[in-house]
Amino acid sequence: MTRTMRVRDARPEDLETVQAIAAENGRPGYQWPWGGAWGAIAILDEQAVAFCAGRDVVQGILIEDLWCTQNQDGVRGLAAISDWIEETAKSLARQMGHPVNLGGIVFPLNVTHQRALEHRGYRHYANVLAKVVNP
């Protein structure tokens, strides 16, 4: 059986599906990032298996969220969406006529994610300090 993976721009009607994938990853109640974020969905055989949310910043692209279903189909979706993100960055670099930065936040406990990105050529570049501020 031939399976078909495709990546497309996220649409408003994808929010429920995106929320289900985020909840599967311990992020219940996920909402799309504020202020102009864009997104993409990886679809395998008409089933959403991964998504990303990112934004264009001064020096390139920042990926804010990248999540998949917790199975092999989700891993395949992550690979497809990662390829899509890198092709998007290459296209932006061609348009701008110079290299662009591409990165995102990886939580320290997510060692698998960090190793996968390192395998793709990403390197540790900065530390992010965070604090929870209660209302």
Q: What is the CATH number of the domain that holds 73?
A: 3.40.630.30
Structural domains in the chain (count): 1
**pLDDT over 90 at 117, yes or no:** no
The pLDDT score that the predictor gives to residue 70 is: 94
Please check whether residue 41 lies inside any domain of the structure: yes
**pLDDT over 80 at 135, yes or no:** yes
Task: Give the C-alpha separation, 51 to 99, whole Å.
Answer: 25
Please check whether residue 116 lies inside any domain of the structure: no
Please check whether residue 85 lies inside any domain of the structure: yes
- pLDDT band at 104, cuts 50/70/90? confident
Alpha-carbon distances of 17 from 12, 70, 78, 96, rounded to whole Å: 10, 14, 15, 34
Beta carbons within 10 angstroms of residue 133's beta carbon: 5
- pLDDT band at 112, cuts 50/70/90? confident
Please check whether residue 81 lies inside any domain of the structure: yes
In which domain, by residue range, is 33 found?
A: 5-105
Please check whether residue 98 lies inside any domain of the structure: yes
Task: Give the C-alpha separation, 99 to 21, whole Å.
Answer: 32
**pLDDT over 80 at 1, yes or no:** no
Give 97's strand partners.
none
Please check whether residue 120 lies inside any domain of the structure: no
pTM over cut 0.95: no
**pLDDT over 90 at 107, yes or no:** no
Q: What is the pLDDT of residues 65-99, one digit of tens each?
A: 999 999 999 999 999 999 999 999 999 999 989 99
User: What single letter denotes the amino acid at residue 91?
Assistant: S
* 84, 120 Cβ separation under 8 angstroms: no
Task: Give the C-alpha separation, 106 to 115, whole Å.
Answer: 10
Please check whether residue 112 lies inside any domain of the structure: no
Number of alpha carbons in the 13 Å side-chain half-sphere of residue 133: 2
The pLDDT score that the predictor gives to residue 59 is: 82
